[in-house]
Each structure stands twice: as structure tokens, then as C-alpha cells.
Amino acid sequence: MPLRRSRRVSDVAGFTLAELMVVILILAFLLLIAFPNYVRAREQGFARGCSSNLKEIQTAVAQYAMENHLPQGAPIPDWVGALVGNGSYLKNLPECPEKGSYTVTNIDNEPTCNSTTAAYPHTISGM
């Protein structure tokens, strides 16, 4: 009767600790390179979304001013009530992607957002 050899743990094929550490190191290095680009793209996306909302608000302000025959520089004290609502110029109040808020002072000034950053300003012209 032939003798059976029992398999020991060290005989089983697998990865060594050094090989696993090299793979983890490579993945960490790739993540280190990719993460700042992800953050930058996310911030640019927020700024572009905010700029789009500001353009929409500016268009609504211009339509409101023309239809109500307002002179240049006329203030809009309750711009949300005047521009947003059923049958108004904007269906909903646009939300800033970075949880900021929009401000409209008068007809001549562009609307502004309070969550702007120096690197990615939230303006109508964009970047």
C-alpha cells in the first residue's frame, strides 16, 4: 500500500508577503496620483453647475425687468418671490451644488453665489 503524503501549508501555492506588499504599494502610489485629480474635477464640476444656475437666474431677471418695464439699476428686494413659482420665470429655485445661496441685488448686477473659491469662482462667465 503506497504511503500518502499529507500536504503541509507551506506546500500550497500562494503569494508571498513581499509580493503582496509590492502590490499594495503600487496601488497606494496610483491612488496618491489619482486623488488630487478627482478632487479638482469635482470642484470644477460644482463651479460649472453653479455658473449654469447663475446664468439661468440672470436670464430670469432680464425677462422680469423687461416685462415689468423696470429702469436700469432697479432693485429687486424679493427676487425669489418675483422670479420663482408657478407660472413665473423659474420653476424652482436653483440650488448651489456646494450648498451655497444665490443673491440678486438689482437688475444691472449679476447674481452671485456665496460658496465661491479663488481656484474655481462661481460666476456667470465660469472659469
**In a domain? residue 11:** no
How many independent structural domains does the chain possess? 1
125 falls within a domain: no
| Residue from 58, 63, 39, 43 nearest 122 by CA | 43
Q: What is the CATH number of the domain that holds 106?
A: 3.30.1300
Domain membership of residue 5 (yes or no) is: no
In a domain, residue 3? The reply is no
- 98 part of a folded domain: yes
Q: Is residue 51 part of a domain?
A: yes
Give me the domain span that covers residue 65.
17-113
Cα–Cα dist 125/42, whole Å = 19
49 and 34 Cβ atoms separated by less than 8 Å: no
Residue 111 DSSP class: P
1 inside domain:
no
Q: CA-CA distance, 40 to 51, in Å (whole number)?
A: 16
| Domain contains 104 | yes
pLDDT digits (tens, 9 = 90+) for 98-113: 888 888 888 888 888 8
pLDDT tens for the 127 residues of the chain, in order = 666 666 665 666 788 999 999 999 999 999 999 999 999 998 888 888 888 999 999 999 999 999 989 898 898 888 888 888 877 889 888 888 888 888 888 888 888 888 867 666 677 765 5
